[in-house]
Amino acid sequence: MARITASVYTSHVPAIGAALDLGKSHEPYWQKVFAGYEFSKQWMKDHKPDVIFLVFNDHATAFSLEMIPTFAIGTAASYAPADEGWGPRPVPGVQGHPALASHIAQSVIQDDFDLTIVNRMDVDHGLTVPLSLMCGAQDPKNGAWPCPVIPFAVNVVQYPVPSGRRCFALGQAIRRAVESFDEDLNVHIWGTGGMSHQLQGPRAGLINREWDNRFLDRLIDEPAELAQLPHIDYVRDAGSEGIELVMWLIARGAMADVATAHPGPKPQVAHRFYHVPASNTAVGHLILEN
Ligand code: DHB
Ligand code: FE
């Protein structure tokens, strides 16, 4: 049986990818960000997953205003880094896991969640920056990410966006799906995006440290209650792009303590990090182990 052994949460700032790709990661500004991921890179080596289920948002790169899936699961064998306007990031392509992805699609859709099935998709900074942060810089030609990745894209760009409540319940359904896959696989689920930030309008540059840290506390200790937070609260308190944080609730909903059948103990906090600033964003990062 496949099982979810850990969840990882991290911001996905595109400038972090640019800092890595342009050799700026040793500059003092970026050192303070990357320092928070030194533990995580070692942790990834010590807890190497067989598959990463990576919840992220596409930033009008693979999808556009012409077609906006609320939840989209990648069932392809591979995904290319997207061109976001400056050429694709020089990172390895992403290998998928079609067998597990198709199984999760089958299970979750039959469990009443309407997913869009995506057989071709380029992946933008929302997916590649978390991989770079957690796995370190990789040689684009001879390097490879440590394991296959199932990309799961959530619309948090164009309203209406899904509620935190729905995201949390979806995470619970993803856990049920993984646990009914008949192969011994160690699966990590990642929730990415956030934390507080706003990229446009009169409030551009908004950061809310107190709110972010309370969100991290509640994500660990009372995720089901946190999932009730209406989206207007994210936008008011964490900025218009702070809404990306609903994706963290998908990963948290897949942990053992909130399982709908045979719940387990609370997860252990293996690592917690918070830093301001990185570009226009507060960077938050958690690793929870089942
Ligand atoms: C920034 C942050 C994001 O989440 C994003 O998608 C684009 C830009 C930023 O901080 O600049
Ligand atoms: Fe973003």
To test the pocket of ligand 1, the residue of 200, 212, 279 to mutate (highest count of ligand atoms within 8 Å of its CB) is 279
Residues of the chain with pLDDT under 70: none
Residue among 239, 254, 122 nearest 191 (CA):
254
Residues enclosing ligand 1, CB less than 6 A?
Answer: 12-15, 59, 197, 199, 241, 279-281
Rounded to whole angstroms, what are the CA distances from 1 to 186, 255, 284?
9, 16, 32
Is 197 one of the annotated active-site residues of the chain?
A: yes
Q: Looking up tokens 């067998």, which residue turns up?
A: 99
Report helix, strand or coil for 275. strand
Report the separation in Å between the CA atom of 204 and the middle of ligand 1, taken as the mean of its atom positions. Answer: 11
**Are 148 and 66 a contacting pair, CB within 8 Å?**
no
Beta strand extents in the chain (DSSP E only): 3-10, 51-56, 71-74, 78-79, 94-95, 116-118, 149-154, 186-192, 268-278, 281-289
Ligand 1, atom 6: closest residue by C-alpha: 13
Q: Which atom of ligand 1 is nearest to the CA of 281?
A: 10
CB atoms within 10 A of CB 264: 11
- Indicate which atom in ligand 1 lies nearest the CA of residue 279: 10
Ligand 1 atom nearest the C-alpha of 280 is: 10
Written as six digits, the tokens of 53 are: 């289920």
Tell how far the Cα of 88 is from the centroid of ligand 1, in angstroms.
17
pLDDT of residue 107: 98
> If you measure from the C-alpha of residue 125 to the centroid of ligand 2, how many angstroms do you get, rounded to a whole number?
8
Residues facing 189 on adjacent strands: 7, 53
Query: In the annotation, is 262 catalytic?
Result: no
By alpha-carbon position, which residue is closest to atom 1 of ligand 1?
A: 13
Three-class HEC string of 25-60: CCCHHHHHHHHHHHHHHHHHHHCCCCEEEEEECCCC
Structural domain boundaries enclosing 216:
3-289
Q: Which of 12, 197, 231, 285 is catalytic?
A: 197
Q: What is the pTM of this model?
A: 0.98
pLDDT of residue 219: 99
pLDDT of residue 263: 96
Total domains in the chain come to 1
Atom of ligand 1 nearest to the CA of 12: 4
Distance CA(216)–CA(76), nearest Å, equals: 33
CATH of the domain at 17: 3.40.830.10
pLDDT of residue 176: 98
